[in-house]
RNA sequence: GUCCCGUUCGUCUAGGGGUCUAGGACACCGCCCUUUCACGGCGGCAACACGGGUUCAAAUCCCGUACGGGACGCCA
């Protein structure tokens, strides 16, 4: 049997990080088993629907590089089929029309609450005849859930879960306006799409029992279920806006790599022994449903950052510079990217995100037009004196390499600063980069070249003398 | 309120009755390296929620308590 998994997002306008992980797990499971990964947009709520919202989700999947094996299906487009099933159930006597008004329902809800009942609907129309129908009321269709006994779900993550049937109500499968509800639509679509494994958030665990009522009524085979615990914020409470970035879009904008994202999300709730760095090919090879944690995981930005730094360091130089392109304030010139390429080793070590990479590399694009506080301190009279003396030293260099620049500066340090290289390096750093923190400065000077370096030194002298 | 699920270092986790004085990773702290900030190397701190069982033996099995989370829509 070929495994078929699916990712069924509702178009809310953004892709939650938790949804991204669910998508990843489904994708991995499909890849691991040589199965298919399908996407279905749960767009039956027409009031909230928008084309852009769908696109956001698809873009999220694309960015995460989770490819799917179908044209994304629209649940709304399948509504005729859902309605047919509802009518079939009605004809078979496994569902019935309920003519309750919203007011009646409210009253039942109040009553049930007061009595501490598990469900509110009292099934008053379950056995009534259609001829009792009040005029002018459009009925909903409710499914007949079992009245007693219990139901067991063998969940791949949660294990055996049993629920008493009296906890279940005769839920609505077709609304009074004739549209199908989610509870019906998922089941019909999953069945029609041949979904074999439903891997989703455990906020759906309770729904599983309701959905199984539909499977049973239709006599369909149920899929294998795996309910993943939810992702919480760093403080252990539900991941919300105040915890920071919630959507994959935001992580992309902060300069995280899709590969790092995948690795992080995978390890959040799943493990493979002591392995931490799990590139995608390994993830596909190793992934299974056996090592999923049952308790919710707290999101940890520091660990994500650490993983991101790792994948940045591993990235091929040209690809890295190209990925960082959107993060530069300035247009990335050829000469600038050439310089970055030369200095890539230093740049990589210093960047946890693409955004940071762009900041670290910015001085390769153009001379500083401002100097930070630390830089200013190094451009005092002592510093300026050093700069004045560096110019002829640089000019005298026939071969400008990191080593030759450093050797020359060492010599200069011996002559005027008791051999303290820092006294030479720091003012140079300030002049070249506008900061007191930067990649190795003698290498940077060599990469910038003799003319550019001297020009920047002169500029700094002008600015501070 | 009813039902369902969970609980190992600050965080993600390893662990399937003895090999656990509980391992790894991130974070944190210290030392080394060093022209800055980083990188790196080495070392350190730090956990089985609590209470009862079962057993020769329990982080591992059972029960209860506490605390967290989830579900109870003509939303998905």
pTM, two decimals, is: 0.94
Nucleotide nearest to A102 (CA to C1'): B74
Average pLDDT over residues A238-259: 90
Average pLDDT over residues A419-423: 92
Q: Which residue has the higher pLDDT, A445 or A128?
A: A445
Q: Which residue is nearest to nucleotide B23 (CA to C1')?
A: A274
- Identify the band that residue A74 occupies on the pLDDT scale cut at 50, 70 and 90: very high
Protein CA A437 to sugar C1' B34 (Å): 14
How far apart, in whole angstroms, are the C-alpha atoms of residue A108 and residue A119? 10
Contacts of A71 (CB under 8 A, 6+ apart): none
Average pLDDT over residues A336-365: 96
Q: Is the pLDDT of residue A12 over 90?
A: no
- Identify the band that residue A110 occupies on the pLDDT scale cut at 50, 70 and 90: confident
Catalytic residue numbers of A? 241
Average pLDDT, chain A: 93
- Identify the band that residue A208 occupies on the pLDDT scale cut at 50, 70 and 90: very high
Closest CA to A406 of A421, A420, A418, A419: A421
Protein CA A215 to sugar C1' B50 (Å): 42
Whole-angstrom CA distances from A156 to A6, A21, A110 are: 16, 17, 37
Nucleotide nearest to A112 (CA to C1'): B1
How far apart, in whole angstroms, are the C-alpha atoms of residue A73 and residue A34? 21
Strands (E), A335-453: none
Distance of CA A175 to the CA centre of its chain: 34
Q: Which residue is nearest to nucleotide B69 (CA to C1')?
A: A296
Strands (E), A294-374: 297-298
Structure tokens, A151: 């139901």
How far apart, in whole angstroms, are the C-alpha atoms of residue A234 and residue A247? 15
Tens digits of residue pLDDT in A276-304: 999 999 999 999 999 999 999 999 999 99
Q: Quick one: A399 exposed, middle or buried, by C-beta within 10 A (0-12, 13-18, 19+)?
A: exposed
Q: Is the pLDDT of residue A18 over 90?
A: yes
Q: Is the pLDDT of residue A441 over 80?
A: yes
Q: How many CA atoms lie within 13 A of A465 on its CB side?
A: 11
Neighbouring C-beta atoms of residue A341, cutoff 10 Å: 15
Q: Is the pLDDT of residue A130 over 80?
A: no
Report yes or no: A193 and A40 within 8 Å, Cβ to Cβ. Answer: yes
Q: Which domains does chain A have, with CATH numbers?
A: 1-66+229-314 (3.40.50.620), 78-228 (3.40.50.620), 373-464 (1.10.10.350)
Distance of CA A105 to the CA centre of its chain: 40
Structure tokens, A18: 């938790």
Average pLDDT over residues A393-416: 94
CB-proximal positions of chain B, under 7 Å: 1-8, 10-16, 23-27, 35-39, 68-76
How far apart, in whole angstroms, are the C-alpha atoms of residue A270 and residue A262? 12
Tens digits of residue pLDDT in A236-245: 888 878 788 8
| Beta strands at A172-174 and A140-143: parallel, antiparallel or unpaired | antiparallel
Average pLDDT over residues A396-405: 93
Helix (H) or strand (E) holding A274: none
A291-294 long-range Cβ contacts below 8 angstroms, 24+ apart: A292/A25, A292/A156, A292/A157, A292/A226, A292/A228, A292/A229, A293/A229, A293/A269, A294/A157, A294/A158, A294/A229
How far apart, in whole angstroms, are the C-alpha atoms of residue A464 and residue A441? 20
Protein CA A324 to sugar C1' B47 (Å): 40
- Identify the band that residue A49 occupies on the pLDDT scale cut at 50, 70 and 90: confident
Q: Which residue has the higher pLDDT, A438 or A235?
A: A438
Q: Is the pLDDT of residue A255 over 90?
A: yes
Protein CA A293 to sugar C1' B17 (Å): 22
Nucleotide nearest to A153 (CA to C1'): B4
């Amino acid at each position: 049997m070929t495994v078929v998994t699916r990712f069924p997002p509702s178009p809310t306008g953004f892709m939650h990080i938790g949804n991204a992980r669910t998508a990843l797990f489904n994708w991995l499971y499909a890849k691991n088993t040589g199965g298919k990964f399908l996407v279905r947009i749960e767009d039956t709520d027409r009031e909230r629907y928008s084309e852009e919202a769908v696109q956001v989700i698809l873009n999220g999947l694309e960015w995460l590089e989770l490819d799917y094996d179908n044209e994304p299906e629209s649940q709304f487009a399948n509504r005729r089929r859902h309605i047919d099933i509802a009518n079939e159930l009605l004809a078979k006597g496994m569902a019935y029309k309920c003519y309750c008004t919203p007011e009646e329902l409210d009253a039942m809800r109040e009553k049930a609450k007061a009595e501490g009942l598990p469900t509110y609907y009292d099934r008053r129309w379950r056995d009534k005849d259609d001829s009792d129908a009040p005029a002018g009321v459009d009925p909903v269709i409710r499914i007949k859930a079992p009245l007693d006994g219990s139901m067991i779900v063998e969940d791949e993550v949660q294990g055996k879960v049993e629920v008493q049937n009296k906890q279940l109500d005769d839920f609505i499968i077709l609304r009074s306006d004739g549209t199908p509800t989610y509870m019906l639509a998922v089941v019909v679509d999953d069945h029609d799409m041949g979904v074999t494994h439903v891997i989703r958030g455990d906020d759906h665990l309770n729904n599983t029992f309701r959905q199984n009522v539909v499977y049973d009524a239709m006599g369909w085979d149920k899929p294998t279920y795996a309910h993943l615990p939810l992702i919480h914020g760093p403080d252990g409470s539900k991941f919300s806006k105040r915890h920071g970035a919630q959507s994959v879009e935001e992580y992309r904008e902060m300069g995280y790599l899709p590969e790092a994202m995948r690795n992080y999300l995978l390890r959040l709730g799943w493990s493979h022994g002591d392995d931490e760095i799990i590139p995608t090919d390994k993830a596909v090879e190793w992934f299974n449903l056996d090592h999923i944690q049952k308790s919710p995981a707290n999101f940890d930005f520091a660990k994500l950052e650490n993983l991101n730094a790792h994948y940045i360091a591993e990235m091929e130089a040209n690809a890295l510079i190209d990925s960082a392109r959107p993060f530069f304030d300035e247009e990335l010139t050829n000469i600038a990217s050439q310089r970055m390429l030369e200095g890539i080793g230093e740049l990589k070590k210093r960047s946890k995100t693409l955004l940071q990479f762009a900041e670290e590399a910015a001085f390769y694009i153009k001379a500083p037009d401002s100097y930070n506080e630390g830089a200013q301190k190094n451009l005092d009279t002592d510093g300026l004196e050093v700069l004045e003396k560096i110019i002829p030293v640089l000019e005298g260099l026939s071969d400008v390499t990191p080593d030759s620049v450093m050797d020359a500066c060492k010599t200069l340090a011996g002559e005027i600063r008791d051999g303290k290289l820092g006294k030479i390096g720091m003012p140079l750093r300030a002049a070249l980069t506008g900061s007191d923190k930067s990649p190795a400065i003698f290498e940077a000077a060599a990469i910038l070249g003799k003319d550019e370096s001297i020009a920047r030194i002169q500029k700094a002298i002008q600015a501070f003398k």
